[in-house]
A and B are shown apart, each in its own frame.
Chain A
Amino acid sequence: DAKTTQPNSMESNEEEPVHLPCNHSTISGTDYIHWYRQLPSQGPEYVIHGLTSNVNNRMASLAIAEDRKSSTLILHRATLRDAAVYYCIPNLGGTYKYIFGTGTRLKVLA
């Protein structure tokens, strides 16, 4: 299984961009990189995923390093509602079996 390394916690001011890093140096060539987040007292929710190219959706952007050993989730303007634990999950060879690590707890300051 591909291992991931994420900071335990990060802080951001409201309305400012946030860059959440993830190291997945053992990822294989067919593993997609998924990001999920878990708001307090809720189940995880999908944020974004990608393979090699940078990806954008209404929630966030995903920047994937050229060697695919790391990626960065970008929230362009953090709001208080973005306070959550963010998980980076390499998808194992297309099995879509989601193995959650410890994630990064994002705190957004008003």
Chain B
Amino acid sequence: DAGVIQSPRHEVTEMGQEVTLRCKLISGHNSLFWYRQTMMRGLELLIYFNNNVPIDDSGMPEDRFSAKMPNASFSTLKIQPSEPRDSAVYFCASRGEGGAEAFFGQGTRLTVV
């Protein structure tokens, strides 16, 4: 398996534009996590899905952020409209049923100018 795949790896966008980050889970995994990492705030859990259902979205910063799982193997994180303070590295991670180990993608570095 190629592991968790995130795209794009880098994204530069202008303030106010819509940004969509994508994540492909490892085949057979049923839990999905989105994280954001900045120097100031470290790694923050944004949202956690289990079996395609959002279980905890308390970390989503505000209504500009939304996350979906249109199917069991794919997720998107959308920011609309984007702001410079959204600049960060965004990671997704997946985990198998009953597993203890979460597998992280390589991340998407987002820069909003």
Main secondary structure on chain A at its contact with chain B? loop
B56's contact among A42, A44, A49, A97, by CB below 8 Å, is which? A97
B2 close to chain A: CB less than 8 A: no
Contact A43 B106 (CB under 8 A): yes
**Proximity string of chain A (74-106) to chain B, C-beta cutoff 8 Å, 1 when within and 0 when not:** 000000000000010001000011111111000
- Total interface residues on A, using CB and 8 Å? 20
Query: A-contacting residues of B (Cβ < 8 Å)?
Result: 4, 31, 33, 35, 42-45, 48, 55-56, 91, 93, 95, 100-107
Q: Pick 18 A–B contacts, CB within 8 A, sort by A.
A: A36-B102, A42-B107, A43-B104, A43-B105, A43-B107, A44-B43, A44-B104, A45-B104, A46-B101, A49-B100, A49-B101, A97-B45, A97-B48, A97-B55, A98-B45, A98-B93, A98-B102, A100-B42
